[in-house]
Each structure stands twice: as structure tokens, then as C-alpha cells.
């Protein structure tokens, strides 16, 4: 039906007419500081959205992820699913956004929760990741429903918890409850900030593990009576530099991962702790002299669709065994923390071809297909929901996510909203 120029023009105009409403909605969402951790104001943002979408004729379901990781009475993990049925049977198109934002961090020159509009940009924590995308999907759906009230199927909009900390109190929980079953949802668009002319097909895999080296405590003036776990960890880091990092740099993928640096296997050391724990900043005393008997690091290994997770784990295990063979008294433990397989939706999947066509109509260019370096909630929709017809597509510049002075351009939201409205027409109107 988007081949019908009059409908297509009406939809583009309907989104454009809602530019101010889009700005206001984005600002309102930014002003609810849904910081994660700890997971605050989740109920407030869901109640706000319930009111907003209720007024637009959506049925509302508020769902607390009771019993999920991090859910508590102090910080309940609330989610919202809003549903608008058409006039007859058809596919269900679901827009999923996370409503949580990461910590503010240092270096801001704008109010992180002010939602300030300046020179066509809206500033604030979560502006691009991803309250701007959430607002865009809502405005696109409202514009579509107002223009084409006689549509088939169902539009769903969800705002979900905890994406920034794994999504267990959000999309994973909903997927376990059957909300992403392919029998009830056929197309999923996640408006993460991947840039308005790119379609994100999936993500690399991830494996987190903790490595611990063991020593023996003794007085710091006589280190020869103990065994320093930090020095053992030094040997691990040395082996990573000389062996593991070069090995990972040599592994390249055919997945279209962006940015370029992520087209290979990567490993980050997320943290290192050894010896006595650090005292609070206000503590004025000196530390006690002890030989550290424990040192721990957390590694964050990102792997490619061409790699097998068992091989990924074996590389690290073999590296540690090699050190043990060469280094007297070297003792270690390695503990799995978290893993997600890579995923990539096919370029000929219906949601991909539909959004690609809409991008061409709105921006007069062919979309770029990309894969995300890190995971996002598509992992749960794919693995728990068993729903493969899923992409990330939304406004905002990926590199600004989690940065100080995060912003989103109003024009990018309008363009992306037009793409979403055209995609709804393609999927929910008769041809």
C-alpha cells in the first residue's frame, strides 16, 4: 500500500505534523530518571506511558518481572506493553524499547535530566539510548493509526526494564511469558540508536568470565613468606598481551559489524581487584601491609558468528594452563558469568525488506546493513522467544550512547518516524 503515493505522502505529512509532539514526548521521557542500576522510576515511566498510549486508544498491560534478577519491592522491574488492534486479522508489528538508562557519569555541560532542546538537538541521559527511539515509535504509530484507521493486525509498543544490565527483568521475562512467541508477534523493530539509514541485523556473541589467581597472605615487609596473587595475575596479563590479543586480532568476521574495530574478536578486562579492598574516599587511614592472597579480573570476550563458544573458552583455559606449566605455585580458578550466542537476521526477512524499502522512500538511499558490536534485547527475542524476524532500527548516533552530553537530533527522529510509519503501512495495509 505504500506503493500508493497518496497514502505514503499522507503518512510522511502526518509524522512531520507531529514534530512538536515528538520533541515534547522525548523531553518528558528524559525527565523521568530511570537510572539502572539501581532501576529507579520504572513504575513512574510505565504509568506515564500507560496514560499517554491509553489516550491514543491502546490497551495497556503493566507487567512486573516478579522474581527476576534485581527485582525487589524497593526497585520493582516494571514493563509496559501497549496494544492497538486493527479492524481485522493480520500480522502483529511490535516496537520494543528499553526504558532504563545508564548512570550519568562525569563531563556533562547540560542537565542530564532536563531534556533541553537546543539547535535541533535534545540533550539528556537516554536521549539517544533510547528514549528518543521510544518516542519516535509512539509518534509513528499514532500518525499511522490516525491516517489509516482501517488497518489489519495489531501494533504493539513495549517499554521494558533492565536492557542495560542484561534485560532479565525486561524482554527476557516477557519472552519467557510468551509475549514474543512468533504465533502472536510476527515482526519486531527495536528502535536502538543505530543511525536512521542503517538496519541492524543482529549482534556478536559475548562471554564474561572471572579469573582468579591465588596466593598466600603474609606481612608486606616479608613478601618472601607469602605468595603474591597480584604478581601471578601480572603473568596472566603478560600472556594476554603477547599471545591472546594478537590471536584475537587475527580473527575476522564476514558479519557487517560496526565500527570497523569490532569486525574482529575482542576482549576487554572489565575490572581488576587484588589484595585489601579499597576504603571509602572519606577514610583517612593508611592501608595495612599484606601480601595479596587473591586477585580477580573480569574478562569480556566478544566473539564472532564464525566462532564456536567452546573454542573461545578453551583458548583462555589453555592460556592459563600454559602459565601454570611454566610458573611455580601458579593456582587459578575460572568462573563463567554470562554468555550469549551471536545472532543475525537474514537480509531477506520480511521486516528487513520492509524497513529497507521505507528508508529508500524517505531518504532516497539504500540502507546500510550492520551488526552491533554488543548485544541488546534481540538476544532474548531470538533465543527465548524463537522469533527470528527482528531488527534494531532507530534514530540517534550510536557513538553518543552512554556519553556525557548525550543528544538526539529532532530531524533524525522525524525521518526515522516516517520510516516506521511507512513500514507499518507496508505490513498492515492490504496490497
Binding site for Zn ion (CB under 5 A): 129-130, 192
Report how far apart, in Å, the C-alpha atoms of 111 and of each of 165, 245, 401 are: 24, 39, 16
Shortest Å distance, C-beta 353 to Zn ion:
25
Shortest Å distance, C-beta 126 to Zn ion:
9
Shortest Å distance, C-beta 188 to Zn ion:
15
Residue with smaller CB distance to Zn ion, 129 or 406: 129
Residue with smaller CB distance to Zn ion, 129 or 293: 129
Shortest Å distance, C-beta 402 to Zn ion:
9
What is the C-alpha separation between 137 and 414, in angstroms, rounded? 10
Radius of gyration of the chain (CA): 24
Residue with smaller CB distance to Zn ion, 162 or 192: 192
Residue with smaller CB distance to Zn ion, 130 or 304: 130
Residue with smaller CB distance to Zn ion, 192 or 315: 192
Shortest Å distance, C-beta 49 to Zn ion:
17
Measured CA angle at 136 (ends 135, 137), to 5 deg:
95
Q: Which residue's Cβ lies closest to Zn ion?
A: 129
Measured CA angle at 330 (ends 329, 333), to 5 deg:
135
Give me the phi and psi of 117, to 5 degrees please.
-100, 120
What is the C-alpha separation between 252 and 118, in angstroms, rounded? 41
In order, the DSSP letters of 325-394 are HHSTT-EEEEEEEEEE--EE--TTSHHHHHHHHHHHHHHSSPPEEEEESS--THHHHHHTS----EEE--
Residue with smaller CB distance to Zn ion, 102 or 290: 102
Shortest Å distance, C-beta 260 to Zn ion:
21
Shortest Å distance, C-beta 61 to Zn ion:
22
Residue with smaller CB distance to Zn ion, 71 or 129: 129
Buried b (16+ CB within 10 A) or exposed e, 294-324: bbbbbbbbbbbbebebeebbebbeebbeebe
Give yes or no for a contact between 243 and 375, defined as CB atoms under 8 angstroms apart.
no
Amino acid at each position: 500500500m505504500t506503493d500508493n503515493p497518496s497514502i505514503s505522502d499522507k503518512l510522511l505529512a502526518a509524522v512531520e505534523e507531529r514534530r512538536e509532539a515528538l520533541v515534547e514526548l522525548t523531553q518528558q521521557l528524559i525527565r523521568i530518571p530511570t537510572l539502572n542500576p539501581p532501576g529507579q522510576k520504572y513504575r513512574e515511566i510505565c504509568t506515564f506511558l500507560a496514560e499517554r498510549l491509553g489516550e491514543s486508544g491502546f490497551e495497556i498491560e503493566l507487567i512486573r518481572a516478579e522474581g527476576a534478577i534485581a527485582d525487589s519491592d524497593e526497585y520493582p522491574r516494571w514493563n509496559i506493553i501497549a496494544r492497538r488492534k486493527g479492524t481485522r486479522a493480520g500480522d502483529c508489528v511490535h516496537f520494543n524499547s528499553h526504558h532504563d538508562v545508564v548512570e550519568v557519569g562525569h563531563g556533562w555541560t547540560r542537565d542530564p535530566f532536563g531534556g533541553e532542546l537546543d539547535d535541533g538537538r535534545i540533550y539528556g541521559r537516554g536521549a539517544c539510548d533510547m528514549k528518543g527511539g521510544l518516542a519516535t515509535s509512539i509518534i509513528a504509530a499514532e500518525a499511522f493509526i490516525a491516517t489509516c484507521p482501517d488497518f489489519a493486525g495489531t501494533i504493539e509498543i513495549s517499554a521494558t526494564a533492565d536492557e542495560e544490565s542484561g534485560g532479565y527483568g525486561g524482554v527476557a521475562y516477557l519472552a519467557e511469558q510468551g509475549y514474543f512467541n512468533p504465533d502472536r508477534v510476527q515482526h519486531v523493530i527495536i528502535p536502538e540508536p543505530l543511525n536512521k539509514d542503517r538496519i541492524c541485523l543482529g549482534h556478536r556473541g559475548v562471554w564474561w568470565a572471572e579469573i582468579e589467581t591465588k596466593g598466600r597472605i603474609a606481612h608486606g615487609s616479608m613478601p618472601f613468606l607469602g605468595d603474591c596473587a597480584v604478581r601471578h595475575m601480572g603473568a596472566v596479563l603478560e600472556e594476554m598481551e603477547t599471545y591472546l590479543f594478537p590471536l584475537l586480532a587475527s580473527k575476522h568476521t564476514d558479519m557487517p559489524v560496526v565500527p570497523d574495530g569490532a569486525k574482529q574478536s575482542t576482549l576487554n578486562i572489565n575490572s581488576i581487584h587484588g589484595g585489601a579492598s579499597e576504603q571509602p574516599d572519606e577514610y583517612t587511614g593508611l592501608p595495612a601491609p599484606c601480601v595479596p592472597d587473591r586477585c580477580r579480573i573480569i574478562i569480556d570476550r566478544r566473539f564472532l558468528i564464525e566462532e564456536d563458544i567452546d573454542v573461545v573458552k578453551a583458548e583462555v583455559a589453555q592460556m592459563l594452563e600454559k602459565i601454570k606449566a611454566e610458573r611455580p605455585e601458579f593456582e587459578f580458578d575460572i568462573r563463567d558469568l554470562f554468555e550469549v550466542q551471536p545472532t543475525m537476521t537474514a537480509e531477506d526477512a520480511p521486516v528487513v525488506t520492509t524497513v529497507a524499502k521505507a528508508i529508500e522512500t524517505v531518504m532516497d538511499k539504500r540502507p546500510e546493513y550492520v551488526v552491533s558490536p554488543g548485544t541488546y534485547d534481540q538476544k532474548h527475542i531470538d533465543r527465548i522467544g524463537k522469533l527470528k524476524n527482528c531488527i534494531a532500527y532507530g534514530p540517534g548516533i550510536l557513538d553518543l550512547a552512554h556519553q556525557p552530553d548525550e543528544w538526539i537530533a529532532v530531524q533524525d527522529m522525524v525521518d526515522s518516524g516516517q520510516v516506521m510509519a511507512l513500514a507499518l503501512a507496508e505490513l498492515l495495509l492490504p496490497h
